[in-house]
Structure 1
Amino acid sequence: MKHTIILIFFLTFIFSFGQENENQPALDETELIELYQEKMDSIEKTFSYQHGKIDIDNGMATLEIPEGYKYLEPHQANRVLTEIWGNPPSETLGLLLPENTSPVSDNFTYAIEITYEEEGYIADDDATDIDYDELLTQMQKDVEDANPERIKEGYESFKLIGWASEPYYDQMNKKLHWAKEFKFGESETNTLNYNIRILGRKGVLNLNVIGDMSVLPQVKNDIDSFLNSVDFNEGYRYTDFNPDMDKIAAYGIGGLIAGKVLAKTGALAVLLKFWKVIAIALAGGFAVLRKRFTGNKTS
């Protein structure tokens, strides 16, 4: 169901074209919009949201869903990220969304993807010595270098504009967060990726905010709720590290921030905000095409 919006309108065109060939009235603008809304509603009804306490990855961590949010488990989250929003496939532990929004609706604002990377215990000795301007320059180069492969795989190129919020590390609680601003393709609206990292014994939990730049104030307002909502369980915590048994990561805090710049976009979800305008425009386009193909007057 990748690129759902395109598929829906394509099928609508075929249906309308077939109707007219049978001398039946073609779908008008209102009917097209209603058909589109019905399809989006049918997709939304397939989601089963959860609240309360969530077990993450078979007891590794616990997520307490913040007030005003809801959770999609990994299978459904992966469907949203890859099939509906068109991101490259990846392993996910779920999605958090504001309670009153849907990933396939015009009221979508942002989502928070949860993932885990088990690359070892990350020493934080370098946390106070990082030059974030220099780090940003290197990250921007990494993005440029990665674009040819993205394009080859059929995805948009993207550009790292800069910090939307400079990195901050809470050394006591071993939690790190920062935000980046991206531009995907020719999009007029830039994308926000707000990154939250919780350091653990064998790896790091990632909470990545996916939305456009307009949601930055809201995310900043709720950042403490996100930071307090998830923690490793006993045996997996940073303080449980055993140097005689556990692997140590090959990088520190600076390397964690730079990492692999795997930005994700909710661009298709943002596009859904304008579905009425798109539907009306396409309805007009369909009418022109039908007239050209059939020579008949449209209703």
Structure 2
Amino acid sequence: MNKSFRGLLAALAACMGLAARAADTPPENPAWTEAKAVAKAGPADIAIAGQATLHLPADRVFIPQPQAGKLLTAMGNPGQHTELAGLVFPKGEGEWFATLRYIASGYVKDGDAKEWKADELLASYKEGTEASNEERRKMGAPALEIIGWAEAPAYEATQHRLVWAMSSKEKGAPADANLGVNYNTYALGREGYLSLNFITDLKDLPAQKPDAKALLGALEFDKGKRYEDFDSSTDHVAEYGLAALVVGVGAKKLGLLAVIFAFVAKFAKIIFIAVVGFGAAITKFFKRS
């Protein structure tokens, strides 16, 4: 982690009232206080956007909207967070957190999963990230460099689940700098899809993959909203295919470069602007009963 990035961490910690505090002392930022007040501890069944149910495990905590969006903003992720359903934190050990969104895209066809090539997807992702770096600079966030796949895209056709992970670092950082990772999991439904974005450090990912996949498995679309409930005579079909959920490849094929940038902004900004390692402070806060 380079000096400028450490400075960003320190600035965020200071603005949130975390600097020089004991681990068991709650931060004073109102967003943290509001989130703690509405936190739902598992086991619990949580309705998601009138589309699905999250069967929250016993060792997890869920923060609903609008408090979840306020907390993300306090963490350095500006925006309305209109598609955000909530945030998930571990109540016990584990320095990670996850964002849960529902995107009403329409039915996403998955046929392109049979044709995609990981190297082409990676090249498109790098291109989109480079193009979005200017927006990051305007927001006061560091430019990013994509290192490569932490896990190449894999689609489970029977369960209609997509998993992929990308590693990154601050642009210009030394080769041995700590790498961040966004571990992305998606569940497809009849009218859209759920995006569960798992935030952690790359070095911790192997040990934490089971946590991410367990959360994905805890999501269940409601009857009538499942992927297999699709009715071609009445239902809206998304303008893009499955590959677009990874890097906007579907949008690129249509020549809609702006849509690619929108995908990068929506699905990468959370991870790459949220500072690497900052999840540890968040989880310590929610470990307390």
Return the TM-score normalized by structure 2: 0.75
Q: 1:7 to 1:185 in 2, by over 3 A?
A: farther
- Deviation of the 1:153 alpha carbon: 3.1
**Does residue 62 of structure 1 match 2:48?**
no
SS of corresponding position for 1:120: coil
Q: 1:35 to 1:125 in 2, by over 3 A?
A: closer
Is 2:13 aligned against 1:5?
Answer: yes
Residue number in structure 1 paired with 2:107: 121
- Aligned partner of 2:114: which letter? T
1:213 aligns with 2:205: no
Q: State the partner residue of 1:18.
A: none
Which of 236, 241, 245 is equivalent to 1:247? 236
Aligned to 1:226: 215
One-letter amino acid of the structure 2 residue matched with residue 157 of structure 1: A
CA distance in 1, matches of 2:223, 2:102: 17
| Runs of 4+ more than 6 Å apart | none
Conserved 8 A contact 1:49-1:71: yes
| Partner residue, 1:76 | 67
1:111-166 residue CA offsets vs partner (Å, 9 max, x unmatched): 01001111211111121211011110111011001111221233322222111111
**From 109, 126, 132, the counterpart of 1:146:** 132
1:295 aligned partner: none
Aligned residues: 243
Q: Do 1:86 and 1:268's aligned partners in 2 also have CA atoms closer than 8 Å? A: no
Distance in 2 (alpha carbons) for counterparts of 1:123 and 1:34 = 49
**Contact 1:193-1:210 at 8 Å conserved across structures:** yes
Residue identity matched to 1:213: L
Unmatched 5+ stretches in structure 1? 13-31, 102-107, 274-299
Report if aligned partners of 2:150, 2:165 keep a CA contact under 8 Å in 1.
yes
After TM superposition, the score normalised by the length of structure 1 is: 0.72
Tell me the distance in 2 between the aligned counterparts of 1:213 and 1:205.
Answer: 23
Structure 2 counterpart SS, 1:126? helix
Structure 2: distance between partners of 1:36 and 1:229: 30
- Give the CA deviation at 1:189: 2.5
Contact preservation (8 Å) 1:184, 1:191: no
The percent of aligned pairs where both chains have the same amino acid is: 31
Distance in 2 (alpha carbons) for counterparts of 1:166 and 1:74: 31
**In structure 2, how many angstroms separate the alpha carbons of the residues matched to 1:36 and 1:68?**
20
Letter of the structure 1 residue corresponding to residue 110 of structure 2 = D
Partner of 1:87: 77
Compared with structure 1, are the counterparts of its residues 8 and 192 closer, same or farther at alpha carbon in structure 2 (3 Å cutoff)? closer
- Alpha-carbon deviation of 1:194? 0.5
Which has the greater radius of gyration?
Answer: 1
Distance 1:195 1:72 in 2: 19
